């Protein structure tokens, strides 16, 4: 007869062991749940997807549920390390492995790919062809440049010339845009786009960032599209630097911002009216970009952020005697060329922006940063001829 307390203690001891002490699927610390059909310990969020796969996985709480002796023995036989060695045996280096804070669609499809479709065990490598063949074609809903309406557009991704093309209709032969893999980035933005499968694709157009906001109603399709982009970017990076190790190239495939949101900004004289803008700060290119709204297609301007040794610093507040805005929590960014003043709506936002600036400033500059070291001023529509 099973001893509930003894089995509970065994499970609680097991979950403290290396690899078991983090979710098998997203790496979240201190997982409290386990799949007794797969032998893995998972977090509460990932356990939700496991519950949706009853033929594949069965979930119990390691603290609250009754565990039979045979189930505990099964968990001891497997565990996260052994299970992942089997289910993640053939994950391509470019394939995105979701982390704790990633969006639901990424984690959901990762779990389904691992356990339901068994894409990475070596048994079903053909299933990887949709994103690893070097050619991807699909229909996505794309937000219009000047309005909020999403329209169907055909997208064509090719590793042959390292481009992403999109067409205004399914039968068009002439693309609306041809986007190079050189500066392309893709990141899921479900909250910003207003769709659980929302994907933001960004690239440089005449030295300014341009955004495409897309989604697909099918979660597997949009994640396959995302990983096809990553596969093509990875191939491009390997061509540029064939001697680089995969582990060095993978972090460069796509990047997420370390902070984004609204702030108010003023012009170079600091007497121009404050205007509300959407800001994005990236660590990879050390760039603070800003847009009129969160869903604007074209960047209004950008500021390069160097190190303290190069004359960059950030502090709380704004210079005395400056014009005030609607918001009152100031952030002052010093650069060798000028002083930038921003205002935040909440004190928490102010702290987060200052922390984000300090993080970038504290990181040493790489050779490629010196090539792009400049301040890109705003377009004339922001502050006409003001240089802001």
**323: enclosing H helix or E strand:** none
Average pLDDT over residues 186-210: 95
Q: Give pLDDT, residue 138.
A: 95
**Three-class SS state of 98:** coil
d(CA 348, CA 362): 21
pLDDT at 163 over 60: yes
pLDDT higher than 60, residue 381: no
Q: What are the domain boundaries of the chain?
A: 2-116, 131-252, 257-376
Tell which wins on pLDDT, 271 or 386: 271
Nearest to 373 by CA among 322, 309, 300: 309
% of the chain beyond a pLDDT of 90: 82
pLDDT at 374 over 60: no
Read off the pLDDT of each residue in 187-199 and give the average, rounded to a whole number. 97
Q: How far apart are CA 179 and CA 187, in angstroms?
A: 16
State both tokens at 381: 């529509």
For 59-86, how does the pLDDT look when each residue is reduced to its tens digit (9 = 90+)? 999 999 999 999 999 999 999 999 999 9
pLDDT of residue 146: 73
Tokens linked to 169: 């209709």
pLDDT of residue 208: 92
Res. 177: pLDDT tops 90: yes
Please report, rounded to a whole number, the percentage of residues in the chain having pLDDT higher than 70.
Answer: 95
Query: 372 pLDDT exceeds 70?
Result: no
pLDDT of residue 169: 82
Please classify residue 366 by burial: count the beta carbons closer than 10 Å to its beta carbon, then call 0-12 exposed, 13-18 middle and 19+ buried. exposed
Cα distance between residue 41 and residue 20, in whole Å: 6
Q: Are 364 and 285 in contact (CB under 8 A)?
A: no
Please give the pLDDT value at position 388. Answer: 43
Q: What are the pLDDT digits (tens) for 11-54?
A: 999 999 999 999 999 999 999 999 999 999 999 999 999 999 99
The pLDDT-based confidence of 383 (bands split at 50, 70, 90) is very low
Closest CA to 330 of 314, 344, 320, 310: 344
The yes or no reply on domain 131-252 and CATH 2.30.30.180 is no
Q: Tokens 């994005």 sit at which residue?
A: 280
Angle at 372 between CA 368 and CA 376, to 5 degrees: 160
Q: Hey, is 382 helix, strand or coil?
A: coil
* Residue ranges of E strands in 283-378: 287-291, 301-304, 313-316, 329-334, 339-344, 375-376
pTM of the model: 0.90
Query: Class of 2-116 per CATH?
Result: mainly alpha
Contacts of 358 (CB under 8 A, 6+ apart): 314
Q: What is the Cα gyration radius of the chain?
A: 24
pLDDT score of 376 more than 60: no
**Cα distance between residue 340 and residue 178, in whole Å:** 35
Q: Which of 388, 337, 334, 331 is nearest to 361 (CA)?
A: 334
Classify 30 in phi/psi space as left (phi over 0), alpha (psi -120 to 50) or beta. left
Q: Mapping DSSP to helix (H, G, I), strand (E, B) and coil, where does residue 146 land?
A: coil
**CATH number of 257-376, picked from 3.40.50.2300, 2.30.29.30, 3.10.350.10, 1.10.10.10:** 2.30.29.30
Cβ distance 23 to 43 under 8 Å? yes
* Residues forming a β-bridge with 288: 281, 303
* Residue 387 confidence (pLDDT): 40
Higher pLDDT among residues 3 and 162, named by residue: 162
Contact (Cβ atoms closer than 8 angstroms) between residue 130 and residue 228: yes
Strands (E), 57-145: 59-61, 135-143
Question: pLDDT confidence of 385, banded at 50, 70, 90?
Answer: very low
- Name the 3-class secondary structure at 118: coil
- Quote the CA–CA distance of 347 and 192 in Å, as a whole number: 22
Q: How many residues does the chain have?
A: 388
CA 221/CA 79 separation, integer angstroms? 31
Distance CA 215, CA 141 (A): 5
Between 138-152, 235-249, 295-309, the lowest mean confidence (pLDDT) is in 138-152
The reply to whether domains 131-252 and 257-376 share a CATH topology is yes
The mean of the pLDDT values for the chain is 92
For the cut 90, the answer to whether the pLDDT of residue 279 exceeds it is yes
What stretch of H or E contains 70? Answer: helix 69-77
Predicted pLDDT of residue 311: 95
Q: Which tens digits make up the pLDDT trace of 352-367?
A: 999 999 999 999 988 7
CA distance 117 to 110: 10
């Amino acid at each position: 007869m099973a001893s509930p307390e003894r089995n509970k203690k065994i499970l609680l001891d097991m979950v403290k062991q290396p690899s078991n002490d983090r979710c098998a699927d997203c790496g979240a610390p201190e997982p409290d749940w386990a799949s007794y059909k797969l032998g893995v310990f998972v977090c509460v969020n990932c356990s939700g997807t496991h519950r949706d796969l009853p033929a594949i996985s069965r979930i119990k709480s390691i603290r609250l549920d009754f565990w039979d002796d045979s189930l505990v023995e099964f968990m001891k036989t497997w565990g996260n390390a052994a299970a992942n060695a089997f289910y993640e045996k053939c994950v391509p280096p470019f394939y995105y492995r979701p982390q704790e804070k990633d969006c639901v669609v990424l984690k959901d499809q990762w779990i389904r790919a691992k356990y339901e479709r068994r894409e990475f065990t070596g048994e079903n490598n053909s299933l990887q062809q949709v994103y690893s063949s070097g050619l991807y074609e699909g229909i996505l809903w794309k937000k219009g440049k000047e309005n909020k309406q999403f329209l169907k557009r055909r997208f064509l991704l090719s590793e042959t010339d390292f481009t992403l093309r999109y067409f205004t209709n399914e039968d068009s032969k002439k693309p609306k845009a041809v986007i190079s893999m050189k500066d392309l980035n893709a990141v899921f933005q479900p909250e910003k786009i207003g769709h659980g499968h929302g994907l933001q694709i960004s690239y440089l157009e005449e030295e300014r960032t341009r955004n495409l906001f897309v989604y697909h109603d099918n979660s597997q399709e949009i994640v396959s599209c995302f990983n096809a982009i990553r596969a093509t970017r990875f191939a491009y990076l390997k061509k540029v630097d064939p001697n680089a190790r995969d582990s060095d190239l993978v972090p460069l495939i796509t990047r997420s911002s370390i902070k984004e949101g609204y702030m108010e900004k003023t012009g170079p004289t600091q007497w121009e009216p404050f205007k509300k803008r959407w800001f994005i700060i990236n660590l990879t290119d050390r760039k603070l970009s800003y847009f009129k709204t969160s869903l604007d297609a074209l960047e209004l301007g950008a500021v390069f952020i160097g190190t303290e040794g190069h004359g960059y610093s950030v502090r709380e507040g704004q210079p005395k005697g400056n014009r005030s805005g609607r918001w009152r929590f100031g952030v002052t960014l010093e650069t060798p060329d000028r002083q930038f003043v921003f205002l935040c709506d909440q004190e928490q936002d102010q702290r987060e922006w200052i922390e984000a600036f300090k993080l970038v400033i504290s990181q040493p500059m790489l050779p490629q940063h010196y090539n792009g070291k400049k301040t890109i001023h705003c377009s004339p529509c922001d502050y006409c001829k003001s240089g802001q």
